[in-house]
Amino acid sequence: MIAETDSIAINDMLDTGLLTALDAASVDAFTAQERPQVLFFSGPKAVRREAHDVAVALREVLRDYSGGVHGGLVRDEEAKALSERFRVSATPSLVLLYGNDVLEVLPRVRDWADYAAAFQRYFGPATRSQNKGVQA
pLDDT tens column, 47-101:
788 999 999 999 999 999 999 999 999 988 888 889 999 999 999 999 999 999 9
Query: How many Å apart are CA 24 and CA 16, to the nearest integer?
Result: 22
For 21, the 3-state DSSP assignment is: strand
Of 49 and 114, the structure prediction assigns the larger pLDDT to: 114
CB distance 8 to 52 below 8 Å: yes
**Domain edges within the chain:** 8-121
Residue 4 reports pLDDT greater than 70: no
* DSSP 3-state of 48: helix
Q: What is the pLDDT of residue 77?
A: 81
User: CA dihedral in degrees (74, 8, 136, 58; nearest 10)?
Assistant: 20
> CATH 3.40.50.1370: does it fit domain 8-121?
no
pLDDT band per the 50, 70, 90 thresholds, residue 129: low
- pLDDT at residue 134 greater than cutoff 50: no
